């Protein structure tokens, strides 16, 4: 596997060409903050979701009246990116439209994914460019899996504290599709204590109201500050018993149960006009 390593005096980050996926976040004391990809639970670590977030009915989407096969979370995470910038503290991997991608998604696009370290933070920025002559619908999201428990915090309850102290309405999945019915929020004034039982019914989806930042970790001790930009939807996912929790900011969600299979009509879908560029980012800062 082709890897690029970036770092500074505080953090070292490895990124794979496959999927432009971050593979590790390590502090200078040797602690690892990202999930290690144990195949007995889930091999992912921090996939990029494009040009679709979540599932489509029967793994099929309609685009301009034509039907295309599209597996969960799109094809970018299984695509080989090209390294176009490599510096000590940042790198950029690029995916461009090809004959293979047009068979799945008939647009001329460019997807640049930048990883950058600064202090004790790593930022991941995705830039999507529509190089086509027509409007281009898509969804995009991040899916980083952080260690649970965090290093040095075994045996301590871990919490997610939303910066906006809100209690966003919960939605669940059925067959991978979003159930439109709103459920009571698991948050209490923006606080959620994590428990593996929360994920017996798959991910927790918060289409609105989660804000743009949070703190993850025990009440005291090591933690992560996590924030995101231009990504209005949020999800939290794990597998019961696994040593990770995914904090997932998205623009666009899975299709709804009983909803349209048209990519442009998916909830919160993004559409860029010809020549337009969209930028989406998350930042994770290590505390302690």
List, for residues 95-136, the tens digit of each pLDDT value. 999 999 999 999 999 999 999 999 999 999 999 999 999 999
Residue pLDDT, tens place only, 27-72: 999 999 999 999 999 999 999 999 999 999 999 999 999 999 999 9
Give the model's pLDDT for residue 257: 97
141, 287 in Cβ contact below 8 A?
no
Q: Coil, helix or strand for 100?
A: helix
pLDDT tens, 122-174? 999 999 999 999 999 999 999 999 999 999 999 999 999 999 999 999 999 99
Which of these, 114, 138, 142, lies nearest to 249 by C-alpha position? 142
Rounded to the nearest integer, the mean pLDDT of the chain is: 97
3-class SS at 65? coil
C-alpha–C-alpha distance, residues 181 and 17, integer Å: 39
Task: Express each pLDDT in 66-94 by its tens digit.
Answer: 999 999 999 999 999 999 999 999 999 99
Instruction: Tell me how crowded residue 218 is: count the other CB atoms within 10 A of its CB.
Output: 18
Q: Which of 201, 211, 205 is nearest to 255 (CA)?
A: 205
Contact 124, 142 (CB under 8 A): yes
The pLDDT value given to residue 226: 98
Q: Give strand pairing partners of 173.
A: 178
Q: How high is the pLDDT of residue 88?
A: 98
Residue 117, token pair as written in the block: 């370290």
**C-alpha to C-alpha distance for 284 and 288, rounded to whole angstroms:** 13
0.85 surpassed by pTM: yes
Residues 197 and 115: their CA atoms lie apart, in Å, by 33
């Amino acid at each position: 596997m082709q890897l690029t390593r970036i770092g500074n005096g505080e953090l070292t980050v490895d990124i794979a060409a496959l999927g432009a996926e971050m593979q590790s976040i390590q502090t200078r004391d040797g602690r690892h903050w990202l999930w290690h990809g144990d195949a007995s639970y889930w091999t992912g670590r921090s996939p990029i979701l494009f040009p679709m977030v979540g599932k489509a009915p029967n793994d099929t989407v309609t685009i301009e009246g034509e039907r295309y096969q599209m597996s969960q979370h799109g094809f970018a995470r299984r695509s080989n990116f090209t390294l176009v910038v490599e510096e000590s503290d940042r790198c950029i991997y690029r995916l461009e439209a090809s004959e293979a991608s047009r068979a799945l998604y008939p647009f001329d696009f460019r997807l640049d994914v930048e990883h950058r370290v600064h202090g004790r933070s790593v930022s991941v920025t995705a830039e999507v460019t529509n190089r086509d002559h027509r409007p281009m619908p898509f969804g995009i999201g991040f899916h980083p899996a952080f260690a649970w428990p965090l290093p040095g915090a075994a045996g301590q309850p871990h919490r997610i504290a939303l910066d906006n102290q809100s209690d966003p309405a919960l939605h669940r999945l059925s067959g991978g599709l979003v159930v439109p019915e709103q459920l009571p929020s698991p948050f209490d004034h923006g606080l959620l204590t994590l428990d593996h039982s929360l994920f017996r019914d798959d991910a927790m989806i918060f289409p609105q109201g989660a804000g743009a930042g949070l703190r993850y970790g025990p009440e005291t001790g090591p933690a992560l500050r996590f924030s995101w930009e231009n990504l209005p939807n949020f999800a939290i996912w794990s597998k019961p018993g696994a040593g990770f929790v995914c904090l997932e900011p998205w623009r666009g969600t899975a299709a709804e149960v009983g909803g349209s299979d048209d990519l442009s009509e998916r909830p919160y879908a993004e559409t860029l006009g010809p020549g337009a560029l969209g930028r989406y980012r998350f930042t994770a800062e290590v505390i302690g």
